Structure 1
Amino acid sequence: MKYITAIIILLVCASAGANSFVEIIGEDSDSYLQVKEQPVVVRETISESMPSFDLEQGLLKTNIERLTSQYMPLYELVWSLDDRLEQYSNVAIVGDSYEDLLEQISRQYIIGACIRPNNVVEMYDIQANRFYCED
């Protein structure tokens, strides 16, 4: 019975249009599937005052230098990574702060970013230096 239900769910999901979603009604043996035509709209609140940055296609180091000079102009960038790391497309990112923007980029490339108290932003290889930024 479980396999038949799974097949039915798969068929309904496959036949549902791009503007519809599948909702399971009930939890007992009388459960049935209902396809609704109105999708649920999820809106993320983005304020005009939130920091944003346009990552441009090209070297990642150049993008991080632009980001740092835009939001933390008194800080110096120390780059301990391969200079050939690249951003392959233009992307706009939005965050709560400079640190959040930097973290979004760092997670994408699996690299570390450390903002030091002596006005230095250091980018490093997190795989080689796992606990490098722990002060």
Structure 2
Amino acid sequence: MKVAGLGFRKEVTLASLREALLAAGGPEGLTAIATVSDKADAEPLLQLARECGVPVKAVPADVLASVDTLTQSKFVTEKFGTGSVAEAAALAAAGPRARLIATRVVSQDRTATAAIAEGDGA
């Protein structure tokens, strides 16, 4: 399974989420989009999932905190306990043996990040 993890600010737009996803490799072959649970119902995220024809997987913040990431954001580490919400969400949703195939990329307006992981989903 191929999962895009997305991290974003409250004021994010669909265009910014789309831009970050495209920069990470695009929606081709995705089976899900994942993010932290408290943002999983954000309308721009739901719109992107509909565009891509995939479900949104909500990942609890405590699960994200247990995932080591390749990239590190000081702000995200302080808030979520992991270096990248996008990378951690993608890895957590793709399964225990998942690996990143695209590390975190950031939209030009800096409101959205995306990363992509592949795994067995188990």
TM-score (norm 1): 0.27
Bigger RCO (CA 8 Å, 6+ sep): 2
More helix by share: 2
Whichever of the two has the greater Rg, that structure is: 1
Q: TM-score, normalised by structure 2?
A: 0.29
